[in-house]
Structure 1
Amino acid sequence: MEPLHLGVDAGNSKTVALLCDVEGRVVGQARSGNGDIYGAESARAATDSVVGAVKEALTVAGVSVEQVAAAAFRLAGVDWPEDRAYWVEALATRLPELTRCSILNDGFAAIRCGEPSGVGVAVIAGTGSAVAGRGPRGDEWSMSFWIQDAHGASGLVARALRAVYRAALGLGPATTLTGRLLRFFGYPDVESMLHDFTRREGPRRAFGFHASAAREVVAAALEGDEVASALARAEGEHLADYALVTARMVGFPLTDQGASREQMGVPVVLAGPVLGSEGSPVMASLLAALPTRFPAGRPVRAVLPPVSGATLDALADTGVAITPAVLDRLRESAPPPEFLAT
């Protein structure tokens, strides 16, 4: 019975599970809903999403859970020791046959997507944001709730809406974001939008609801709107700051000490649709800020989706060498982009 390896990436928009063999060939995949114990309707609902994705991936592959040699769960909402303890118990109860699994914040999933060794810092901007690092001595740390600014698509739109509301009161500059967001969400005026988004029993207050409008903020910034440009610039600068903090927490040197960045640079893997979209002003801001805030940081664009990074972690946990051939097979057999789209 050939051993398989399982990677799970769970966030607020979706949960994805991937199974591959020891050569990196994907044999099963599945996706489900919100897997964040902080963001789902309940911790039980998040557990159902994660366990459901795992079971469906096993069904697609036509194998049993006993065939999984190692599993790597990279889950949004694993922020404190009690969160990890919750998942240890939940997985032991729901998937007791998984005898070898690691559980970390979803930020760790992206490190191997740009740095196969798994040593580096990952900055992800998706529906939300995640920043995590694994240092040269194996130290691990995640920004988690130390992130004090709302980021990712959801945070970007929340700040854009605040700018629109302030502009409507005459307390902030006029912005094309007003017309863009009214059209996108389908409201006749700003007060109607504010009312619906904030009323006591409003259906639109859940985390991530606004995230789909991030494309409007990005488009406004690319067209030169000063308010949108400032929002994107601030997000990129904050993420560069968080990369520096994370690198320091896991023991990376923070300067190049005279060596070239190619020789000494700390890999900073950049992932997620907010950073990966074509012409992303958030990415441009981060790349501009990184050399001054974190001179030793070497930006690397993720070449695999985070769930593939989680699967690589599972392979590495059993001693499988993450060679270029393994990476190529994982990339070639991965689900199509539309399967992973948010």
Structure 2
Amino acid sequence: MPDVLVLVDHDGEHVYKSTYELLAAARRLGDPAAVVVGTPGTAGRFKESLARHGATSVYAAESGEAGEFLATPTVDALELAVRDASPAAVLVCATTDGREAAGRLAARLDAGLLIDAVDLDSSGVVTQIVFGGSYTVRSEVTHGTPVLALRPGAVEPEEHPVTAVERTLALPSVDPAASARITARRTGLAGDRPALNEATVVVSGGRGVGGAQGFEVVEELADALGGAVGASRAAVDAGYYPHQFQVGQTGKSVSPQLYIALGISGAIQHLAGMQTSKTIVAVNKDPEAPIFGLADCGVVGDLFAVAPQLTEGVAARRAVR
């Protein structure tokens, strides 16, 4: 079977769940081959976990410059891997960094590019949500090596243990004049909650939360469920919650197993970022809110009465267990 290249998304110490999702998707097309871009020693730390999830090959693209420049080392590594493996496709995670790398790689290879895919079949046809979530389409690359960016959460990760062969890619020196150098790093807000695009449960608040203090009920329900906290653009623009937690067309796209929307009306901008969630629960005082047209379960009521009851119910069930 042909190789299918998968760009490994990581923080230097841990592989993100989205990478395991890509490996599962890659097995539909051929033998997954993971491409690790990082400083020396990174690939060695990840090889075992990547092999456990089906990577038959691990390409180590390591250099001291890998963490000093935006995108360029990643694109260089993927291009080298494509030249070496002649893969059936290249899969990346449809994050901001992933989409940039995918676009630049497709331009270098003169190849077709499909982004924000939510499914992939064995023939290479992808399902996409387009035009702000208004349409679902099926697309296929017909020119060159397909470069495909899959939305986090679109495919369930599966363990598929194999023996991985490590291969080395010699990264070229980066031309500083043609690349963006990282001059400083700032640690974002962190805590015990999972990242938005890693979480299996997301609880989001909207304008109906009423203010920053109102997000306490959102956080309490998310913590009870072991999930992440999200926010609509309206809530973020109003200063209720930090921008990094925005879910939507201009924020992050998520596809958790459970998405709970509290006080979110359901503007197209927001739906575009969460409508592929497996189960959607909405709580809103307005029975005509558009979110109810998408929700699997809807509650017409005051979120400040409903959400605490949900939190108490979840806590009680956990205590019984």
Bin of the TM-score, shorter chain as denominator length: 0.3 to 0.5
TM superposition score normalised by structure 1: 0.31
Larger RCO (alpha carbons 8 Å, 6+ apart): 1
Decide which structure has greater helix share.
Answer: 1
TM superposition score normalised by structure 2: 0.32
